[in-house]
A and B are shown apart, each in its own frame.
Chain A
Amino acid sequence: SAVISQKPSRDICQRGTSLTIQCQVDSQVTMMFWYRQQPGQSLTLIATANQGSEATYESGFVIDKFPISRPNLTFSTLTVSNMSPEDSSIYLCSARTGGNTIYFGEGSWLTVV
C-alpha cells in the first residue's frame, strides 16, 4: 500500500492568485496522478506526473494553467494558476503501486473568492 499526504488540506484563495499543492508518498511508486473533483461530481484526471519530465495532460487541461512537477519518485506538486471561482474544487493526488492499485491522498479543498 501507499500513504499519501497532501498539503494544504484546505485553502481560500483570492481570484487571480496561484496556489501550489504538495503531495508526498511514503514509498516509491511507479506513477503519480492529479485528479479534480468538483462538488457532487466524480474524479476527473488532470494529468500524469512524470518523474523528471513534463507531465502528460488530459484533454481540457493545459500546462500553463496547471503546472506540475515531479522531481523524484515520491513527491509531486500541482499549481493552480490565475485562479477563478470555477477552479473551486477538491484536488486529489494519487499514486499507483507496483500492484496496480491506485491510492489517494485526502485531497486539497480550494475555494476561490
Chain B
Amino acid sequence: SQKIEQNSEALNIQEGKTATLTCNYTNYSPAYLQWYRQDPGRGPVFLLLIRENEKEKRKERLKVTFDTTLKQSLFHITASQPADSATYLCGYTGGFKTIFGAGTRLFVKA
C-alpha cells in the first residue's frame, strides 16, 4: 500500500542552525510533494510544493528537494529561529488525493 514516512522523533536544534526534515515514500510515484507547517490547535499552512521533474525549490529560508530515485524529499530551514518551532507535514499527491505523513516536531532553542 502507499506509505509516506517522516521521522517521528522530534528534532531539537539551536537557533541559527539549519533544520533538515526527511520525508520518504514507498509504493507510489507522486506527481508532486507538498510541505506544511502546523501549530498546535491550528490547521496546516501550506509552505512549498515541488513537482516530480523539479530537483529543488526555494522560498526565503526554506528549501525543498525531491529525489525520485531515493523516493525522498528533504525540507531545510536555514538560520532557524524559535518561531520556526512547529510540526512539519509532508504530503504527496498523485491523481486526485493527497496523503500525509505523521509529521515531524521541530523545536528551535534560543
Contact = CB atoms under 8 A, between A and B. Distances in A.
Interface of A: 1, 4, 31, 33, 35, 41-43, 45, 48, 92, 96, 99-107, 109
B31 to A, nearest CB: 8
A104 B43 contact: yes
Contacts of B93: 100, 102
A92 B43 contact: yes
Contact of A101 (B46, B96, B102): B46
A45 B99 contact: yes
A43 B97 CA distance: 12
Interface of B: 31-32, 34, 36, 41-46, 49, 89, 91, 93, 96-103
> Does more than half of chain A's interface fall in helix, strand or loop, or is it mixed?
strand
B49 A42 contact: no
Contacts, number: 49
B102 A45 contact: no
A95 B41 CA distance: 19
A43 B93 CA distance: 14
B96 A103 contact: no
B91 A102 contact: yes
A103 B98 CA distance: 11
A17 B101 CA distance: 31
A69 to B, nearest CB: 18
Contact of B96 (A31, A42, A92): A31
Contacts of B97: 33, 45, 48
6 contacts: A43-B100, A45-B98, A92-B43, A92-B44, A96-B98, A102-B91
Given A41-B102, A105-B43, 16 more contacts: A4-B43, A31-B96, A42-B89, A42-B103, A43-B91, A48-B97, A92-B44, A96-B98, A100-B32, A102-B34, A104-B36, A104-B43, A104-B44, A104-B45, A104-B46, A107-B43
A31 B44 CA distance: 17
